Amino acid sequence: MWAQTGRFVHEIERELNGVQLAEYMAYDQIEPFGEQRADMRSASVCVTLANINRGKGKRAFKLGDFMLFTKTDRRQTVEQQIAMAQGIHAYVIAKQKVKKQRG
């Protein structure tokens, strides 16, 4: 939200009081702007193309199928975080082995 204003956070904090900030955030909930809005525009193009080209009898794609970030994204469980960390670790180790082999 701050990126769209072209100003630093400390500048906006000086210029907006709490009520104005709350109104700004409420407006963003009703009429999204910025990166979320850009994501929606891109997703609408993708969903249109996907639905035009989907096979007969296949379910229609939804906008959410192509959204990169949604407000309904769920938080990862501890187990999911551990699995992700282990996967990253395994990748780094494998990359180091390849680098050593190549000299």
Domain assignment of residue 92, yes or no: yes
Query: Distance between CA atoms of 25 and 19, rounded to whole angstroms?
Result: 10
Indicate whether 85 belongs to any domain. Answer: yes
Q: Does some domain include residue 28?
A: no
More confident residue, 32 or 61: 61
- Asked whether residue 17 is domain-assigned, the answer is no
pLDDT in tens, 67-82: 876 655 567 788 888 8
Amino acid 24 reads Y
User: Containing domain of residue 100, as a range?
Assistant: 76-103
Query: Nearest CA to 68 among 48, 40, 44?
Result: 40
**Count: domains in the chain:** 1
Helix (H, G, I), strand (E, B) or coil at 51: helix
Q: Within 13 Å and on the Cβ side, how many CA atoms surround 76?
A: 8
The model's pLDDT over 9-55, given as tens digits with 9 standing for 90+, comes to 778 777 877 777 777 777 777 776 667 778 888 999 999 999 999 99
The answer as to whether 87 is a domain residue is yes
pLDDT for 2 equals: 54
Is pLDDT larger for residue 2 or for residue 53? 53
User: Is 10 part of any domain?
Assistant: no
- Determine the pLDDT at residue 57: 92
Residue 51 is assigned to a structural domain of this protein: no
Kindly give, in sequence order, each residue whose CB lies less than 8 Å from that of residue 42, ignoring residues fewer than 6 positions away: 66, 68
